[in-house]
Amino acid sequence: MLNTSAQEEQIQEQVDAIRKGKRNPSVIVIGAGMTGILMVIKLREAGITNVTILEKTANIGGTWRENTYPGVACDVPAHMYTYSFEPNPGWSHFFAEGAEIQQYFEHVANKYGVMNSVRFNEAVTDARFKNGKWWVKTSKGAALEADFLVAATGILHHPAYPDIEGLDSFKGEMFHTARWNHDVEIGPNTKVGVIGTGSTAAQFIPELVKTGAQVNVFQRTPQWLLPLPNFEISEKAKKRLKNSPFLTALARKTSIAFLEHFFTKAVTGHKVQRWLLETACKLNLRISIKDKTLRDKLTPNYRVGCKRVVINKTFYNGIQQPNAHLITEGIKRITEKGIVTKDANGNEQEHELDVLVLSTGFNPFNFMRPMNMIGREELHIDDAWSERIKAYRSLMLPNYPNFFLMLGPNTPIGNFSVIAMSEVQTDWVIKLMDRWRQGEYDEVEAPWESVNQFNAYVKEGLQGTAWVGGCQSWYLDADGDPILWPYTWQRWVDEMAEPKMQDLMTRQNETISQPTAAAEVV
Ligand code: NAP
């Protein structure tokens, strides 16, 4: 038998536990792409039910809703480019096409009831942290508040337009690849110009060539191509995969192992893998391009992997067709009629065009901007990042309590499935939120020391990577530092297993706990 005071204590403990267990935070997620969908599913699974997604457009899907150019496909194997909890034995190809991926996300969002949480056509214009909450304004004039704010805004979604004289003077049809204008007819004898030769261009150029159009490809820098074939998965194989979760899991694990132990290691400086990747790309160029002059034009002068390796088996064939023309003279200006190039001797030539496609990539450093974001002490996001774009563990920023930036700077982008990355980060975020739910803190943020320490740690590893191999790429920030993760995938996963509370700063009931090496290691 317990005495009265012990009984009272026990009851009080239970009441406290119930109260703590009942803390159910409100969460606003910005963006209903792959990460936003995942976040809602995982939050609900963890018992966090008060979740709203604000989506600027009329549909979910992010990248795969926006990119509809001909030939759009994912260059990460399809069975790996799926949520771990929702395998898809029905993928039609080894590398899935864009429309099929969009369908997959719509299927998942419907199946898990995500759509009910989304407010469509409502962009976040302002987000401000004040009095312990995030206050959010939207393009529809709504004002919302939440305990946590999650930016699931993606990376490659702000089209980069080239800074070329006369761009706006072109009188033909012109569009960026992420805004493909399907109303523009491209057929035999249409004169098309393409600026850019990255992963996107490599996918759609062969498709344009097939239409019989005269395709003029304006290449500033050649790319290394790894020729992985995109085979169709037969109905019989799909059936087998459907009937055997073991086989579906095996297909996924094999792809993960390939990327983890070959591709990721090759670009992060492991010698054997690097040699294999270099050899494969060089052989591909040597074998695929017969004409020496063309081959020379297509030969990069930087290390394989410095720019993101283009996974593609169709471009070299497409560019060798009689109606494809590779132009390597520099673009001088754009006119009403087309593009003027200038050769090494100073001779100018005008290439008349009906259609101009800008395959010039994205501005990856905007992240959640142009949103007007203001943290504690009136710290605007532009000021927080005035010197350099950085975040603690890619996710957290000083003076931005209870805010998480998914797929932020130094996530292992470029070498792996972004879905796998988002899953790891989502688990980390939910573990941290769980501490809030248990009443361990009211506000959590990463102080500058932790951000700087993380950045120094990352910078140390970048030296041996292919990304610092003497080329210009979207990986590099204004200082020329890649915003990527330089170590192995497994190391990243291990280090993200639990939030390290000793790195973070928490507040509760007006008290502040500063980070200290002596603090509890979780
Ligand atoms: P990108 O790799 O950044 O390529 C942009 C291209 O435009 C480059 O060839 C660049 O030349 C050229 N360019 C830019 N400004 C120019 C100018 N002023 N004059 C002449 N050329 C100019 O863009 P992307 O091809 O859209 O690919 C971006 C990323 O999207 C990829 O790296 C990849 O991560 C992702 N992506 C993925 C898939 C997939 O299957 N998962 C498919 C497509 C794209 P320089 O090289 O000289 O700068």
- pLDDT (0 to 100) of residue 9: 54
- pLDDT (0 to 100) of residue 364: 86
Residue 245, number of CB atoms within 10 A of its CB = 11
Structure tokens at 448: 């500058």
DSSP β-bridge partners for residue 405: 151
**C-alpha separations of 176 from 165, 173, 180, 473 in Å:** 17, 11, 6, 18
- pLDDT (0 to 100) of residue 508: 87
What string of DSSP letters covers 457-471? HHHHHHTTSGGGSS-
- pLDDT (0 to 100) of residue 154: 92
Out of 69, 180, 197, 200, mutate this one to test ligand 1's pocket (max ligand atoms within 8 Å of CB): namely: 200
> What's the longest Cα–Cα distance across the chain?
100
- pLDDT (0 to 100) of residue 3: 46
- pLDDT (0 to 100) of residue 521: 32
Dist. CA 381 → ligand 1 center (Å): 26
Is residue 176 lining ligand 1, measured as CB closer than 6 Å? no
Top mean pLDDT of 178-182, 266-270, 513-517 is at 178-182
Dist. CA 359 → ligand 1 center (Å): 6
pLDDT in tens, 433-480: 999 999 999 999 999 999 999 999 999 999 889 999 789 999 999 888
Q: Over 90: is that where the pLDDT of 416 sits?
A: no
Q: What number does the ligand 1 atom closest to the CA of 361 have?
A: 23
User: Average pLDDT in the 281-287 region?
Assistant: 98
DSSP β-bridge partners for residue 339: 334, 351
By mean pLDDT, which of 19-33, 130-144, 172-186, 251-265 is the weakest? Answer: 19-33
Whether 345 contacts 360, CB under 8 Å = no
pLDDT in tens, 71-110: 999 999 999 999 999 999 999 999 999 999 999 999 999 9
- pLDDT (0 to 100) of residue 520: 35
Ligand 1 atom 40 nearest Cα: 74
What string of DSSP letters covers 490-513? HHHHHHTSS--GGGSEEEETTEEE
pLDDT in tens, 194-229: 999 999 999 999 999 999 999 999 999 999 999 998
Is residue 74 lining ligand 1, measured as CB closer than 6 Å? yes
Is residue 145 lining ligand 1, measured as CB closer than 6 Å? no
Q: Over 70: is that where the pLDDT of 147 sits?
A: yes
- pLDDT (0 to 100) of residue 253: 93
Return the axis-axis angle of helices 245-258 and 235-243, rounded to nearest 10°.
110
User: Average pLDDT in the 409-433 region?
Assistant: 93
- pLDDT (0 to 100) of residue 156: 87
- pLDDT (0 to 100) of residue 511: 65
Dist. CA 196 → ligand 1 center (Å): 6
Residue 13: its H or E element:
helix 4-21
Structure tokens at 420: 């796998």
- pLDDT (0 to 100) of residue 506: 97
Q: Over 70: is that where the pLDDT of 509 sits?
A: no
- Which has the closest alpha carbon to 355: 187, 489, 515? 187
